Amino acid sequence: MKYYIEVSEQRGAVFAVEAESEEDAISKVDAAYSTGAIELDGEDFECVGFGAVKGKDTIDKLLNDGKITELPEEPITYTVEYTLTVDGDDGESTDYICKAEGYKSVGEVKDESAELIKGLIRDHDIPDGMYEVEAEITAVKGEEETHEDWDTVVVVVSDGVIMFRDEWGPEIPDKSEFFEELSEDEKKAGYIKFNIPRFDNIYATNGEGVWGWVSPEDKAKYDDDSYTGEITAILCNAPLYYSYKLKWGAEVVLKCHGSSRPTLDPEWIKKYLL
């Protein structure tokens, strides 16, 4: 009887060990890889000798020695199911799901994941926001699911633009309480207007106009038409751009452009919003 071993570095390759029983197969695997060329944990021993072979040289040697054969009886394919969860204003959440089948490898799944997720967003008219999409990847041999893997990706939707990032990114400092404690005169003295550029052109000097508050020191720089450095501001209204993360009271960094309005600093945008 053949007992199968999956090869981690070639997710689509399967090797078979000839053995009289599951225990015999595991014993042969353990003996063949006693040098540490294979890593087996408790779960591997429970699933008929599955393990991860490290290094093509080891695989070639075992094939040449006749210990394993490259002969899967049925090909393994991969199925992926993407789940995007949207929280509603009423506190209820909705899962949007798409599924694709028949992939030859996990690498092929990941190569096409971006377009599948974009299609899911467009098909369901997902509102602007930042979402975590979970991918459940299942290996299928014949009619049997042999094992599962999970992956997640953060996707940002804004004004028709869909972007991907590895993580949520750092939290933006919240200065709303500080702002509320200011007197009305202090607030009025520090009000400024600045622009928030779009996703696809973060270096632009135009964009959505919003109100902010700055300290007296930064207000002097703002009023100086020759100043082209950075200032720090507190956002005083809720913007439309980047609304998934940019809220009233957020402390932001602005890039001044002389006599033109300041804009969100591009490096700050990349760090916190993209």
- Distance CA(44)–CA(64), nearest Å, equals 24
What mean pLDDT do residues 212-228 have? 96
pLDDT for 96 equals 96
For the chain, give every domain's residue range.
Answer: 2-64, 76-165, 176-272
- Burial, 148: exposed, middle or buried (Cβ in 10 Å; 0-12, 13-18, 19+)? exposed
128 versus 40: the higher-pLDDT residue is 128
pLDDT for 159 equals 75
pLDDT for 244 equals 80
- Distance CA(226)–CA(17), nearest Å, equals 76
Helices (H), the chain: 22-32, 42-46, 56-64, 106-123, 176-180, 184-190, 216-223, 266-272
Model pTM score: 0.56
| Residue 194 near residue 208 (C-beta atoms within 8 A) | no
22 has a pLDDT exceeding 80: no
176 versus 161: the higher-pLDDT residue is 176
- Distance CA(110)–CA(11), nearest Å, equals 12
**Number of C-beta neighbours around residue 10 at 10 A:** 14
Helix (H, G, I), strand (E, B) or coil at 12: coil
Nearest to 250 by CA among 223, 232, 224, 263: 232
For 226-237, letters b (16+ CB in 10 Å) and e give ebeeebbbbbbe
pLDDT above 70 covers what percent of the chain?
Answer: 73
pLDDT interval class at 23 (50, 70, 90):
low
For 171-195, letters b (16+ CB in 10 Å) and e give ebeebeeebeeeeeeeeeebebebb
63 has a pLDDT exceeding 70: no
Nearest to 4 by CA among 14, 142, 12, 67: 14
Helix (H, G, I), strand (E, B) or coil at 142: coil
Per residue in 95-136, pLDDT tens? 999 999 988 888 888 889 999 999 999 999 998 888 999 999
- The CA distances from residue 69 to 9, 14, 45, 48, in Å, are 17, 9, 20, 16
